[in-house]
């Protein structure tokens, strides 16, 4: 629903839960834009609902008319203040990547996320494979982006766990060029990777 965000908790996979909720009669499918994983999820949910109470559409519903980026920043600050070692976050970048690279991306990629615990940054790619016409396997691959540096030394990580996850997501979408993508990820199909190499390889004669 344009202009509205839903903020709630679940003990299960959030994307599966979003698909279930879509069957309850909402006009458009839910898109999970951000996740925060922590032990005190009930307290965190209650706190952010209190903080955003003025923007709540209905006291019996978890819908808010509030900017998504500001809601993510608020959740991040609340997660950081908890100091829980097992707290980590995930932000979905599929839509942004598809809008830029749909002609190059593998057709079986259904989700791309930046996943960030306290000490590392992962790129998570989910692919689906249909089997026998009625089964669907999901392959989830997480690549540690700690091997990518900013060119000023090994300790200068391009995607630093010290950055907010929103900054690392924005860098991957808007600053990480296509040639870097084909050399560090498996997002693009072979023809797309070859085309990127032809266009953007700085070492080609």
The per-residue pLDDT for 127 is 93
The per-residue pLDDT for 79 is 61
**23-36 pLDDT per residue, tens:** 665 656 777 888 88
Distance, CA of 140 to CA of 138 (rounded, Å): 6
Query: What's the domain range around 74?
Result: 5-200
The per-residue pLDDT for 84 is 52
| Interval 48-54 mean pLDDT | 90
| Interval 93-105 mean pLDDT | 96
Does the residue 43 lie in any domain?
Answer: yes
Does the residue 36 lie in any domain?
Answer: yes
The per-residue pLDDT for 122 is 96
Residue 105 has pLDDT above 60, yes or no: yes
Does the residue 205 lie in any domain?
Answer: no
At residue 20, what are phi and psi to the nearest 5 degrees?
-65, -45
**127-175 pLDDT per residue, tens:** 999 888 888 898 999 999 999 987 665 568 999 999 989 999 999 999 9
Name the least confident of 3-7, 51-55, 92-96.
3-7
pLDDT band at 83 (very low <50, low <70, confident <90, very high): very low
Answer yes or no: are the C-beta atoms of 47 and 79 closer than 8 Å. Answer: no
| Interval 102-117 mean pLDDT | 95
Whole-structure pTM value? 0.72
CA triple 146-147-152, angle to 5 deg: 100
The per-residue pLDDT for 121 is 96
Q: How many domains does the chain have?
A: 1
The per-residue pLDDT for 101 is 98
CA atoms within 13 A on the CB side of 15: 11
Report the mean per-residue pLDDT for the chain. Answer: 85
The per-residue pLDDT for 81 is 55
> What percent of the chain is predicted at pLDDT more than 70?
86
Does the residue 78 lie in any domain?
Answer: yes
Of 78 and 174, more confident = 174
């Amino acid at each position: 629903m344009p202009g509205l965000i839903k903020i709630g908790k679940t003990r299960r996979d959030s994307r599966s839960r979003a698909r279930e909720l879509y069957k309850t009669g909402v006009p458009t499918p839910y898109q999970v834009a951000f996740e925060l994983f922590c032990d005190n999820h009930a307290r965190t949910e209650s706190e952010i609902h209190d903080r955003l109470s003025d923007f709540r559409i209905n006291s019996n519903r978890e819908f808010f008319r509030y900017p998504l980026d500001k809601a993510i920043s608020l959740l991040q600050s609340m997660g950081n203040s908890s100091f829980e070692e097992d707290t980590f976050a995930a932000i979905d970048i599929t839509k942004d990547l598809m809008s830029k690279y749909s002609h190059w991306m593998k057709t079986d990629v259904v989700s791309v996320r930046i996943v960030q615990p306290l000490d590392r940054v992962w790129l998570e790619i989910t692919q689906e494979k249909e089997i026998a016409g009625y089964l669907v396997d999901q392959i989830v691959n997480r690549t540690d982006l700690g091997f990518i540096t900013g060119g000023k030394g090994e300790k200068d990580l391009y995607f630093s766990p010290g950055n907010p996850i929103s900054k690392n997501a924005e860098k991957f979408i808007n600053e990480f060029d296509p040639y870097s993508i084909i050399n560090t990820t498996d997002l693009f199909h072979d023809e797309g990777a070859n085309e990127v190499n032809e266009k953007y390889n700085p070492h080609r004669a």
